[in-house]
Amino acid sequence: MLATLVVSSLIDSLIVIRSTEMDGVSESDLENINKFMELALHQAKCAFDNLEVPIGCVLVEDGEVIATGFNRTSETRNATRHAEMEAIDTLLEKWQKCSLSKSQVAQKFSNCILYVTCEPCIMCAMALSILGIREVFFGCANDKFGGCGSILSLHKSETDNKCRQVDGASQSKGFKCMGGYMADEAVSLLRSFYEQGNPNAPKPHRPVRVLQAPQKS
């Protein structure tokens, strides 16, 4: 009963994200976004199969997937190994092998789009901003640690973001960011993960809305 109420309240809030943030996206853009979100969801399912919090992502350059990633925090026993970090490190390693210069790497990141099933946390959003990623599309919101609108808005350019001026991270560039894409699927996967009572599961801090107590109306 509680779970039903929570999920129904969650779906309501995600529908709000979708209707407000998807304005101005053409049909063909949406088709493209959904295509890559499907691939990100596939990565999230790989995480699920590996008993990890099911969040996945793909990095795309010129319409092609150039890196993928999913959460590996349990396997690595490293709380920073989020899907985004996995994909970024794969790319950096690849580009390092090609002996790309720092400016070439920056140039390549500025052409990349990230598709991730859950809003990047503050750590990942800051990393993406410093790297100068072009654009991010995400599925469900991350109410507790979200760095793209939920808690902080690190995707906004520095001039728009006073927090960043205070913390001195002057190199962050900001990026275009929109959420709510295939959010139901992302939430459903997270819900299955937490409902199965996995003993390896870390405390469910990221998909906060899944666990939030329903508000009395």
Stretch that binds Zn ion, among 22-30, 123-131, 160-168, 192-200 (CB under 5 A): 123-131
Which residues are catalytically annotated? Answer: 84
Q: Which is nearer to Zn ion, 127 or 182 (CB)?
A: 127
DSSP percent split of the chain into helix, strand, coil, nearest 5:
50, 15, 35
Binding status of residue 121 toward Zn ion by CB under 5 A = yes
Question: Which DSSP symbol is given to 158?
Answer: G
Tokens of 83: 């899907």
Q: How far is CA 206 from CA 67, 126, 146, in A?
A: 23, 16, 8
Binding status of residue 124 toward Zn ion by CB under 5 A = yes
**Segment 142-201, which members bind Zn ion (CB under 5 A)?**
none
Binding status of residue 88 toward Zn ion by CB under 5 A = no
Please check whether residue 137 is in contact with residue 115, taking contact to mean a CB–CB distance below 8 angstroms.
yes
> Which residues have a Cβ under 8 Å from the Cβ of 62 and sit 6 or more positions away?
111
Dist CA 13 CA 8 (whole Å): 9
Binding status of residue 206 toward Zn ion by CB under 5 A = no
Q: Minimum distance from CB of 82 to Zn ion (Å)?
A: 3
Q: Minimum distance from CB of 200 to Zn ion (Å)?
A: 19
Q: Minimum distance from CB of 86 to Zn ion (Å)?
A: 10
Dist CA 177 CA 142 (whole Å): 14
Q: Minimum distance from CB of 208 to Zn ion (Å)?
A: 14
Q: Which is nearer to Zn ion, 14 or 55 (CB)?
A: 55
Q: Which is nearer to Zn ion, 15 or 79 (CB)?
A: 79
Question: Which DSSP symbol is given to 123?
Answer: H
Strand partners, 146: 121
Please check whether residue 70 is in contact with residue 64, taking contact to mean a CB–CB distance below 8 angstroms.
no
Q: Which is nearer to Zn ion, 82 or 108 (CB)?
A: 82
Dist CA 175 CA 132 (whole Å): 7
Interface residue with Zn ion, options 82, 108, 191, 209 (CB under 5 A): 82
Site string for Zn ion, 4-43 (x = CB under 5 A): ----------------------------------------
Give the interface with Zn ion as residue ranges (CB under 5 A).
82, 121, 124
